[in-house]
Amino acid sequence: MELLEERIRRDGVVDGQVLKVNSFLNHQMDIGLFNEMGREFYRLFGGERVTKLLTIEASGIGIACIAAQYFRVPVVFAKKNRTSNLSDNLLTTLVPSFTHGTTYQVVVDRAFLSPTDRVLLIDDFLANGAALEGLWQLVRQAGGTVVGAGVAIEKAFQPGGQRLRQAGLRVEALARISAMEGGSIQFVR
């Protein structure tokens, strides 16, 4: 998606293996851009009879909510910690965090994913694929179907995208980065 690639080129900041897109994607959020991303996700997955968008707190929520206006379905966001306000009837899985070197629990109330659901996973970044794998696992636990995953930015030089696609998941990334060396960002062509 040209608009997103241009924005990453203009406002993304490369710091080693980290790409900071805080100014428009995951701290400050450009809602006009999110609208174009949502439209593109709908172009890609609009024929899949999606019943629900599933994302994970916190950075995926804004993207998923704006995209949901095109799909006209609810958004569910998986929570990273079990809080007292959730029911005991939870779908749970463990997700390793490469950034923090730890593992965290991800939970969704069982009431919000069912065997008849056709779920599109949404997230801001795909790198090692651990978060999307965890979401996929939660939908499988519920007996539902994952129709694919829509991510804003894929770091295609990290192994997550390839592993998920080999496992049979349809993954669509709006911008696929092939290299970030010397501060310059290359996209997959």
Give the binding site for a second copy (CB under 8 A). Answer: 18, 20, 22-24, 27-32, 34-35, 57-58, 61-62, 64-66, 68-69, 72-77, 79, 83-87, 99-100, 108-109, 111-112
Cα–Cα distance for residue pair 169/62, rounded to 1 Å: 23
Angle, alpha carbons 109-48-75 (nearest 5°): 30
Distances (CA, A) of 86 to 15, 75, 171, 174: 37, 17, 30, 33
Report, in Å, the least distance between residue 175 CB and a second copy.
Answer: 17
CA 179 to centroid of chain Cα atoms: 20
Q: Which is nearer to a second copy, 70 or 157 (CB)?
A: 70
- What are the φ/ψ torsions at residue 67 (nearest 5 degrees)? -60, -35
Task: In angstroms, give the least distance from the CB of 165 to a second copy.
Answer: 26
Nearer to a second copy, 87 or 184 (CB): 87
In the complex, what is the shortest distance from the CB of residue 31 to a second copy, in angstroms, rounded to a whole number? 4
CB of 106: closest distance to a second copy in angstroms?
A: 13
Compute the least distance from the CB of residue 30 to a second copy, in Å: 6
- C-alpha–C-alpha distance, residues 68 and 74, integer Å: 7
> Residue 167 CB: number of other CB atoms within 10 A?
11
Instruction: Indicate the residue among 96 and 170 with the shorter CB distance to a second copy.
Output: 96
Rounded to whole angstroms, the Cα distance separating 74 from 57 reads 15
Q: In terms of CB distance, is 3 or 61 closer to a second copy?
A: 61
DSSP-derived letter for residue 88 is: S
Q: How far apart are CA 22 and CA 14, in angstroms?
A: 11
Return the number of the residue (104 or 157) whose C-beta is nearest a second copy.
104
